[in-house]
Amino acid sequence: MTSDEPRTIRAKFCGTLGRFKLDASFEVPATGVTALFGPSGCGKSTILRCISGLQHLPGSFCAIDGDIWQDQTVFRQPYQRPIGYVFQEASLFQHLSVRRNLLYGAPRGAVPLDAGSAPFDEVIDLLGLAPLLDRSPHHLSGGERQRAAIGRALLSQPKLLLMDEPLSALDRLTKDEILPFLERLHQRLSLPVIYVSHDMTEIERLADHLVLMQSGAVLAAGPLSALQSDTTLPLAAGRDAAVNFDAKVEAYDAAYGILALQVDGGRLLVPAAPVTVGELRRLRVAASDVSLARESPIASTMLNALPARIVSKSLVEASEVLVVLALGSNGGGARLLARVTRRSWDLLQLCEGMNIFAQIKGVALAPARSVSEHGSI
């Protein structure tokens, strides 16, 4: 059943569940992290349940790497699909120790995956589970439980990891405890992940691709930064609109503690702790942190003023405009968003297609190493 479309997830789910109508189809690469994002009740979790086979909507279609899991004639039961599923609540088996929970889904065939084997140790190490192995799920904190549940899903050796708001049942502190684990996971494993969330900050740190959903339908699907800078979508118009991109560490100035990062069409300076040159880091530039100048600022405390070209402008509020910029004087680089007042736009006589300088007040660097090699597609 393998066709010539490797590394893609193709899904089309339609049907009604009670009063809810789902009609969603998308196609995303089966690499890196794909986030399903949208308000509560828009059908993201239902899509995840459909992909896993826990929900059966007849007349739908689902294929991973050309392998058909559901179509008109085929419906593979959940236990026949090579998936890992992390639920909102950890859902560990209460009658088993953490170790036996972890091994429950581990392959038991010719080469059994056992405690002490290399893949086991790797997952234990990745998620910091060693001290928990002999404990009962009753005696774990919320964060520890969720880490064990993620480990259990990984040890079943899935070809696709499905995560249904794995952090939303946790408090802020516990979330911050788990996020670095997820980032490490993303970086170290080449496992494709579909990650459901309604929290944009999680998505900005983890996702490579985005499927934007609204009331049972797909609004848009594509690379994260492309959707972030698309002014026809609701993301760009929001107060906290931002663009994320992956940058390569070019140099580190130890005397000033400044990191030089190479992005498509420019170079950004960011104060940061030392890191290895050549590493990929994820950046976040908020639209409200970018201002525009007609000429290169000569004397300024601002670290970053990059040549860029105005791609488009749209009105977001009576007094403000949202400007899409492309870095580089030829306008071929990474996209940025800038939110400026309409007054400044008119005073500076800015217009689409004009070359200007983008002054970036703040560049947020993801706290941990967060971007994998396959993250920059």
For the bound state, the minimum distance from the C-beta of residue 29 to another protein, rounded and expressed in Å, comes to 23
Binding another protein by CB under 8 A: which of 87, 99, 320, 342?
Answer: 87
The contacts of residue 161 (CB under 8 Å, 6+ apart) are 83, 84, 86, 153, 154, 191, 192, 193, 194
Contact call for residues 86 and 51 (beta carbons, < 8 A): no
Binding mask 96-115 for another protein (x = CB under 8 A): --------xx----------
- Among the listed residues 337, 314, 341, 340, the one whose alpha carbon sits nearest the alpha carbon of residue 325: 337
> Tokens 């000429």 sit at which residue?
295
Binding another protein by CB under 8 A: which of 150, 153, 170, 259?
Answer: 153
Binding another protein by CB under 8 A: which of 145, 152, 175, 186?
Answer: 152
> What does the alpha-carbon distance between residue 333 and residue 360 come to, in Å, rounded to a whole number?
16
- Contact between 262 and another protein by CB under 8 A: the answer reads no
Binding another protein by CB under 8 A: which of 26, 85, 195, 345?
Answer: 85
- Contact between 175 and another protein by CB under 8 A: the answer reads no
For the bound state, the minimum distance from the C-beta of residue 126 to another protein, rounded and expressed in Å, comes to 18
Neighbours of 153 (CB within 10 A): 23
Question: CA of 325: how far to CAs of 291, 329, 352, 355, 365, in Å?
Answer: 11, 11, 9, 9, 20
For the bound state, the minimum distance from the C-beta of residue 374 to another protein, rounded and expressed in Å, comes to 24
Contact call for residues 275 and 269 (beta carbons, < 8 A): no
Nearer to another protein, 87 or 252 (CB): 87
The per-residue b/e assignment along 63-94, b for 16 or more CB within 10 angstroms, e otherwise, is bbbebbbbeeeebeeeeebebbbbbbebebee
- Among the listed residues 244, 60, 93, 62, the one whose alpha carbon sits nearest the alpha carbon of residue 162: 62
Binding mask 58-77 for another protein (x = CB under 8 A): -------------------x
> What does the alpha-carbon distance between residue 120 and residue 117 come to, in Å, rounded to a whole number?
5
Nearer to another protein, 149 or 170 (CB): 149
Binding another protein by CB under 8 A: which of 34, 156, 174, 229?
Answer: 156
Q: Which stretch binds another protein (CB under 8 A): 8-16, 33-41, 46-54, 228-236?
A: 46-54
Residue 365: DSSP 8-state: E
- Contact between 83 and another protein by CB under 8 A: the answer reads yes
3-state secondary structure of 227: helix
The contacts of residue 12 (CB under 8 Å, 6+ apart) are 24, 25, 60, 61, 62
Contact call for residues 156 and 108 (beta carbons, < 8 A): no
> What does the alpha-carbon distance between residue 201 and residue 224 come to, in Å, rounded to a whole number?
12
- Contact between 252 and another protein by CB under 8 A: the answer reads no
Binding another protein by CB under 8 A: which of 19, 95, 139, 172?
Answer: 95
For the bound state, the minimum distance from the C-beta of residue 74 to another protein, rounded and expressed in Å, comes to 17
Contact call for residues 205 and 365 (beta carbons, < 8 A): no
Q: Which stretch binds another protein (CB under 8 A): 151-159, 202-210, 262-270, 271-279?
A: 151-159
Binding another protein by CB under 8 A: which of 45, 46, 52, 70?
Answer: 52
- Which helix (DSSP H) or strand (DSSP E) does residue 242 occupy? strand 242-253
For the bound state, the minimum distance from the C-beta of residue 225 to another protein, rounded and expressed in Å, comes to 31
- Contact between 17 and another protein by CB under 8 A: the answer reads no
Contact call for residues 185 and 126 (beta carbons, < 8 A): yes
Nearer to another protein, 32 or 105 (CB): 105
Compute how many residues bind another protein; rule: CB under 8 A: 22
Q: Which stretch binds another protein (CB under 8 A): 93-101, 117-125, 219-227, 277-285?
A: 93-101
Nearer to another protein, 77 or 330 (CB): 77
Q: Which stretch binds another protein (CB under 8 A): 64-72, 150-158, 186-194, 215-223?
A: 150-158
Which residues in this chain contact another protein in the complex, by CB under 8 A? 52-54, 77-79, 83-85, 87, 89, 91, 93-95, 104-105, 138, 152-153, 156, 162
